[in-house]
Amino acid sequence: MDGSSDWFRTTPAHPLVRKFRNLGIDRDEDLQPLVQAIKVKRKVVRGRDVLRTGRCPAQSTVLLRGVACWYRTMANGRRQIYSFQYAGDFCDLHRYVLPDSYDAVAAQTDCVIGTVPHEDITQIIGRHPKLALALWRATILDAGIVRERLRNMQRPALARIANLLCEQMVRLEAVGGDALVIPIRQLDLADASGLSVVHMNRTIQDLRRLGVLSDQSRAIEILHKDRLVNIGQFDGGYLDGRELLSHSM
Amino acid sequence: MDGSSDWFRTTPAHPLVRKFRNLGIDRDEDLQPLVQAIKVKRKVVRGRDVLRTGRCPAQSTVLLRGVACWYRTMANGRRQIYSFQYAGDFCDLHRYVLPDSYDAVAAQTDCVIGTVPHEDITQIIGRHPKLALALWRATILDAGIVRERLRNMQRPALARIANLLCEQMVRLEAVGGDALVIPIRQLDLADASGLSVVHMNRTIQDLRRLGVLSDQSRAIEILHKDRLVNIGQFDGGYLDGRELLSHSM
DNA sequence: CGCATCATTGAAGCCCTTCAAGACTTGTGG
DNA sequence: CCACAAGTCTTGAAGGGCTTCAATGATGCG
């Protein structure tokens, strides 16, 4: 990656640093034990599975670059996408705690992933209470995202899609990408929002006609953030660990 | 409660014992630190909130008896019920890790609840690694339930409702109640499945006409478990911590 | 008994789905 | 450099599942 195999360890913008700031780990040295436990790094090309349904390996996976989606297939073959994942997110940390073999993660764009052996996580948890709590928090934050997706199902298509796009926009911003172009196909947005591809397409065009999305290309490009937020009744509080941590009495 | 205020500590059928067996705590003495940390017990009558949206208190709540629902209100006033909760379930353990003030829990039947101060949880986690992991597992199991509810939204009404009823049936069985009568109003089932009350009612009557539910009363009484499981494409694996724990390599 | 709550039923209509086909974009090989 | 194929987006038409509104039964409780 970028010539140096240690890019992810030496760069100050390590995706895990940002992620764990959001989880309450402010000092980079506190994060070191975890960063150093990331063992194998490899690429996964767009469309392939990062991890599959089946027996759970004794390791968890971190997304270091790219966009992925966490999903499970239905009996009829369709997918329900639980959430999208960005650089710094764990793909399957919940499997460290409770191995379940139902769901899978697929690469939405070309990805770079790392793996952390579960025995290393066990050691980290035993020795570093702060990191232990942060890891727990990471799974809780994921759960909050899924709950918002469930809540989103109550909304009609226009608001539902707007809301989904808002979340991706905010999370893209957080990882420093171009947050205005959403790098996700309409098919995948459909699988994430429980709508048919056809209706997804029609509704996206409604958003274009409203001037919220650009109609200059087939890409999903956000022109008016605030109108999108408004249409989608979006409140990103559930994404912001820092803000959530300040809520306690 | 039942004359003795220590009923929940002295009975062998303490709801937490069953719950934590499912989470990997087999020996009752391992559970003692947590059981003894349950401080205040009180009743909550049907319809009232067990806990509310707003500032997070420095404690978490355990459901000791009854049925509750974990929900969040939408902008239009409707509720999205994330999941139902039964004796032994934590209502808001996730708030220990990440205080969020959005959601609430309401009593579906008369309930008895206990509270555990967060500082006690912190001590338990520091001193008892097994319990720490089990608590984490509890939140992961909850998250799995919510994911199944999200997946369920892809199904048409008949299968969706059947699936929802199956989950409640299995979880009721686990707490030793009468698992064949689901103690939940149609309105709440509607809020949990994203359907209108009217359509919920019509579909329940379809299930009655199919002979899957009893048509002898207005209660939701299951006559044919296996047919219900079949219609709802239900696989309760995600509820069974013991089975999930056996999946690791 | 009267009132509140919940279940039930009917009618009208829209949101969304499915099926099917065409257009645009991209990449690949001759 | 063009032809072709694969993938994705787009559009049309028909239909059904579900919603909303509104009103009528049941049940239980003070």
Confidence of residue B4 (pLDDT cuts 50, 70, 90): very low
Bases in strand C with any atom closer than 7 Å to a protein CB: 6-11, 15-20, 24-25
The average pLDDT across A67-78 equals: 95
Look up the pTM and report it.
0.94
More confident residue, A97 or B54: A97
Is the confidence at residue A2, as pLDDT, over 50? no
Max CA distance (Å), chain A: 55
User: pLDDT averaged over chain A?
Assistant: 92
Give me the pLDDT at residue A54, please.
81
Closest nucleotide (C1' vs CA) to B200 is D18
Cα B141 to Cα B239: distance, rounded to the nearest angstrom:
7
Q: Is the dihedral of CA B229, B235, B237, B238 positive or negative?
A: negative
Write out pLDDT tens, residues B90-129: 999 999 999 987 899 999 999 999 999 999 999 999 999 9
Give me the pLDDT at residue B154, please.
97
Give me the pLDDT at residue A125, please.
97
The average pLDDT across B5-18 equals: 66
Structure tokens at B136: 């984490």
Give me the pLDDT at residue B177, please.
73
| Nucleotide D9, nearest residue via CA and C1' | A218
Write out pLDDT tens, residues B63-88: 999 999 999 999 999 999 999 999 99
Q: Are B162 and B212 in contact (CB under 8 A)?
A: yes
The average pLDDT across A58-64 equals: 96
Distance C11 C1' – A46 CA (angstroms):
50
Residues in reach of strand C, judged by a CB distance below 7 angstroms, are A 156-158, 160, 194-196, 198-199, 202-203, 217-218; B 47, 185-187, 197-198, 201-202, 204-205, 218
Q: Using only C-alpha atoms, what is the Rg of chain A?
A: 18
The average pLDDT across A75-88 equals: 96
Give me the pLDDT at residue B138, please.
98
Distance D26 C1' – B102 CA (angstroms):
37
Alpha helices of chain B — where are they, by DSSP H? 7-10, 15-21, 28-37, 94-97, 118-127, 129-152, 157-174, 186-193, 197-209, 225-231, 241-245
- Nearest residue of chain A to residue B151 (CA atoms): A80
Write out pLDDT tens, residues A161-188: 999 999 999 999 999 877 799 999 999 9
Q: Is B236 exposed, middle or buried (0-12, 13-18, 19+ CB in 10 A)?
A: middle
User: How close, in Å, is residue B245 to chain A by CA atoms?
Assistant: 6
Q: Using only C-alpha atoms, what is the Rg of chain B?
A: 18
Confidence of residue A44 (pLDDT cuts 50, 70, 90): very high
The average pLDDT across B1-15 equals: 53
Task: Establish if A56 touches chain B: CB-CB under 8 angstroms.
Answer: yes
The average pLDDT across A206-225 equals: 96
Give me the pLDDT at residue A25, please.
94
User: pLDDT averaged over chain B?
Assistant: 92
Distance D14 C1' – B114 CA (angstroms):
57
Is the confidence at residue B5, as pLDDT, over 50? no
